[in-house]
């Protein structure tokens, strides 16, 4: 199923929150920008991003919203991140166990705020239903190369604004072989500055991060040429 994940999905837990970025390939020049989003709020305090089958993603986002609404109705509080990740893991796993179903063809990252610890957390749910909490993670195309770049970052001293730039940088680095193919950079974050509500990153901010990332990649390429 790895061949389904042709786009990169990267999440970082920074000192002030969590940021998630997705490389969304533009499959047609006629596609309207912003259509087929891969990053979605699923509650005021939580958001989901995914790579894989778009149709499967809609079902997962809908299920996550239902879980959060039901939890709020029953307990009167926001669903903690680890509970949401666990519930979604069970939802994923159920589709691997019943005849007539198939596993979801996507990987999902969850960024959400925990009222108890007053901290935002990052989780990833795999198609099998396995889920883990991460400081930084990547899935999709060239995920190992992306993880190598994440390992170089000092996440404990990085803001989500800085993290957004580095996610864009990593995406640009790992797609060097197909840099001429168009893509959209989508992102969402949750931090103290957003009042611990998950928000989609504005186009202006994403464009600024992309410009910074491309400039840094060019500088890196120039340094390599000088060394040669």
- Residue pLDDT, tens place only, 38-54: 999 999 999 999 999 99
Domain that holds residue 13: 2-223
Strands (E), the chain: 9-14, 17-25, 39-43, 46-52, 106-114, 119-125, 131-134, 136-139, 183-191, 199-200
Selection from 32, 13, 12, 30 nearest residue 21 by Cα: 12
Does some domain include residue 13? yes
Determine the pLDDT at residue 5: 60
The string over 23-47, giving b where at least 16 C-beta atoms fall within 10 Å of a residue's C-beta and e elsewhere, is bbeeeeeeeeeeeebbbbbbbbbbb
Task: Please tell me whether residue 98 adopts helix, strand or coil conformation.
Answer: coil
Residues in the chain: 228
Determine the pLDDT at residue 3: 47
**56 confidence band (pLDDT: 50, 70, 90):** very high
Does some domain include residue 95? yes
The string over 158-191, giving b where at least 16 C-beta atoms fall within 10 Å of a residue's C-beta and e elsewhere, is bbbbbbbbbbbbbbbbbbeeeeeeebbbbbbbbb
CB 8 within 8 A of CB 50: no
Check whether 227 has a pLDDT greater than 70. Answer: no
CA distance 149 to 15: 18
Does some domain include residue 183? yes
Number of domains forming the structure of the chain: 1
Determine the pLDDT at residue 29: 82
**93 confidence band (pLDDT: 50, 70, 90):** very high
CB 155 within 8 A of CB 9: no
Give burial (CB, 10 Å; 0-12/13-18/19+) of 1.
middle
CATH number at residue 176: 3.60.20.10
Check whether 152 has a pLDDT greater than 70. Answer: yes
Selection from 88, 89, 130, 112 nearest residue 13 by Cα: 112
Does some domain include residue 228? no
**pTM summary value:** 0.92
Does some domain include residue 37? yes
């Amino acid at each position: 199923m790895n061949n389904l994940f042709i786009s990169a999905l990267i999440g970082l837990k920074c000192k002030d929150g969590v940021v998630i970025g997705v490389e969304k390939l533009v499959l047609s020049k006629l596609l309207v920008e912003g259509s087929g989003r891969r990053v979605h709020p699923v509650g005021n305090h939580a958001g989901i991003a995914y790579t894989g089958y778009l149709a499967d993603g809609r079902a997962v986002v809908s299920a996550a919203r239902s879980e959060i609404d039901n939890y709020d109705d029953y307990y009167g509080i926001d669903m903690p991140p680890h509970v949401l990740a666990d519930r979604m893991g069970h939802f994923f796993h159920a589709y691997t166990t019943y005849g007539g179903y198939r596993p979801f063809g996507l990987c999902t990252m969850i960024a959400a705020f925990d009222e108890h610890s007053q901290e935002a957390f990052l989780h990833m749910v795999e198609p099998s239903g396995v889920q883990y909490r991460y400081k930084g993670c990547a899935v999709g195309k060239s995920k190992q190369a992306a993880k190598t770049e994440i390992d170089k970052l000092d996440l404990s001293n990085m803001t989500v604004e800085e993290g957004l730039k580095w996610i864009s940088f990593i995406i640009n680095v790992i797609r060097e072989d197909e840099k001429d193919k168009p893509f959209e950079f989508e992102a969402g974050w949750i931090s103290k500055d957003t009042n611990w509500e998950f928000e989609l990153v504005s186009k202006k901010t994403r464009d600024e991060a992309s410009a910074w990332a491309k400039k840094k990649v060019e500088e890196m390429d120039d340094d390599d040429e000088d060394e040669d």
